[in-house]
Amino acid sequence: MITSLFILSLGGEVLIERHLRPSSSGRAAADFFWSKCQSSIKGESTVDSSAETYKNIPPILLFSNQYIISVFRSSLIFLCTLKTEHPPLLCIEFLHRLASTFEEYFGKPIDEELVKENFSTIYMLLEEMNDYGNPLTTEPNALQSLITPPTLLSKITQTLTGSASHPQNLDSGTTSNMPWRRSNVSHPTNEIYVDLVEEIDCILTSSGTVISSDINGSIQCVSKLSGVPDLTLTFKDSSVIDDCCFHPCIRYGRYDEEKVISFVPPDGAFELMRYRVKNLSGRFMPPIFCEPKLMFGEGEKEKGRIDIRVGMKEVSSLIFPREKGMMVLEDVVVTVTFPRVVRTANLTATGGSVLYDEAKKVAKWHIPKIDSKKTVQLTGTMAVKGHRPEESPPIQLEWKIPMASISGLAVSGLSVVNEAYKPYKGVRTITKSGKFTVRCG
């Protein structure tokens, strides 16, 4: 299956290199991939050393007689190579699982510095997570029983002795009949938190017309329950759920028959399931509006102007409980990527704070909160060199609304059996932006 694994920095440096099969072509595959990245960077309209720079690189490339599969996470590039045809989504999921495991061990966001500080732990994780190029142990609970997450004390000990620390009782992660849960779990207080998160991917025109939209959801959990609890999660209206993807702990047969989620949870944070919301048949109305106006002027003597109004719509497709008060947009971020013809920009905002990165030609406008009674505005001038661009760059929006739902899906019950205690149960819903783009002009 997988012949080689690489982790690259955004500068092209190979941070981690692991060859899993004798048929590996060595570092040539990583060099080929980086040459593709370099050609993509030259074609970009802006200078931006983020993963967005490489968005034109296909996730699957053909090199010689093998395939290169890539994933961008945080500020790192994860690569794997295959000699024969294999399900590409399996390899992409494995690379994402690698990145998520590193975040569990070393913290978020995972970056070049953290990788260099934890070389030995990363190589041990790679040994446990694959077997001769095939995914093996990928559950965090099982991995933490085999490889101790690094602490300040363990790093000092490793520096002084040169040896990595391991758990004393490895059998707890290997003898359990549920590989996603450790044996003999005990907590002083028993509690479980469930977040129903829905993300909206949308493309809007400057006038607010929806060009395309897609809604995906996930159920994120944090479990701190002792023993071996058996949980049952029920929904008010499960008919909106489509294209489900389940955690291995879920009993699929019962969901298929009764549409309830029955499971024994892993210990700690985990994603219970992912799903897609069924088509809203063109009825989707976003909760936010963005009215951009970009005028680049003619020649270097005439300055360009920018004017962006952002606010919350009074009528949208979101479902919000009235007893919770007023619906509020939180953590709103408006990102404007200027073309290379813009030398500099002078921006001011009536609300929030705006930061312009001269090197990357990117302006980020942060707005803590917006309600239906408030509209904020960003204005400014741009110094332009050369000819004006053929089209204005799109604007990216980020936002979230606590306690709101776009699909109407809600948790109606969460029961815990097989244990004598009564745990604390917290359930909430969140709707937020995914890839939310507004086209200018």
The pLDDT, as a whole number, for residue 49 is: 45
Residue 44: pLDDT over 70: no
The pLDDT, as a whole number, for residue 314 is: 80
- Going by C-alpha positions, the residue among 197, 186, 150, 109 that lies closest to residue 429 is 197
The pLDDT, as a whole number, for residue 148 is: 83
d(Cα 310, Cα 206) in Å, to the nearest integer?
11
The arrangement of strands across the sheet holding 191-204 comes to 241-246, 268-277, 210-224, 191-204, 424-438, 395-402, 329-337, 362-370, 353-357
Residue 284: pLDDT over 50: yes
The top-scoring range by mean pLDDT among 71-75, 180-184, 309-313 is: 309-313
Work out the pLDDT band at 37, boundaries 50, 70, 90.
confident
Cα Rg for the chain, rounded, in angstroms? 25
The arrangement of strands across the sheet holding 261-263 comes to 261-263, 230-235, 411-417
- Stretch 317-335: mean pLDDT: 86
- Over residues 220-260, the pLDDT tens digits come to 999 999 999 999 999 988 888 888 999 999 999 999 999 99
Residue 109: pLDDT over 90: no
Q: What percent of the chain is predicted at pLDDT more than 90? A: 49
- Stretch 9-22: mean pLDDT: 89
3-state secondary structure of 23: coil
d(Cα 181, Cα 226) in Å, to the nearest integer?
11
- Over residues 75-88, the pLDDT tens digits come to 899 999 988 777 88
- Over residues 407-438, the pLDDT tens digits come to 888 999 999 999 999 999 999 999 999 999 99
- Stretch 132-149: mean pLDDT: 86
- Going by C-alpha positions, the residue among 150, 148, 126 that lies closest to residue 136 is 126
What pairs with residue 417 in β-bridges? 230
CA 70 to chain centroid, in Å, comes to 15
d(Cα 397, Cα 291) in Å, to the nearest integer?
12
What pairs with residue 415 in β-bridges? 232
**Whether the Cβ atoms of residue 354 and residue 363 lie closer than 8 Å to each other:** yes
The pLDDT, as a whole number, for residue 159 is: 64
Angle of the 88-106 helix axis to the 119-129 helix axis, nearest 10: 140
Higher pLDDT, 173 or 108: 108
Contacts of 376 (CB under 8 A, 6+ apart): 309, 310, 311, 349, 350, 351, 352, 367, 370
The pLDDT, as a whole number, for residue 251 is: 94
**Whether the Cβ atoms of residue 204 and residue 439 lie closer than 8 Å to each other:** yes
Q: What is the pTM of this model?
A: 0.81
Which residue stretches of 13-53 are H helix? 28-42
d(Cα 109, Cα 106) in Å, to the nearest integer?
9
Cis peptide before 109, with omega less than 30 degrees from 0?
Answer: yes
